[in-house]
Amino acid sequence: MPECQNCSSFVTAAYARVFTPNGVENPRVCPRCEDKIRDGADVREARSTRRT
């Protein structure tokens, strides 16, 4: 099962397939991460808190 490298939350295989490069199973950040967000091909610190 894929899991987020940042917060260790479960992510679906479809999410991992779309948001990770080929050959990588676990995304670096997911929608549940409160401290980091995806920014294009990079990951950066969140500038504000995220709404849930």
pLDDT of 3 higher than 90: yes
State residue 52's pLDDT score. 56
Q: Residue 9 carries which side chain, given as an amino acid letter?
A: S
Q: Sketch the domain layout of the chain as residue ranges.
A: 1-52
Res 51: pLDDT: 63
Closest C-alpha among 48, 15, 47, 20 to residue 31: 15
pLDDT score at 50: 64
Average pLDDT rounded to a whole number, residues 35-47:
83
Position 2 pLDDT exceeds 70:
yes
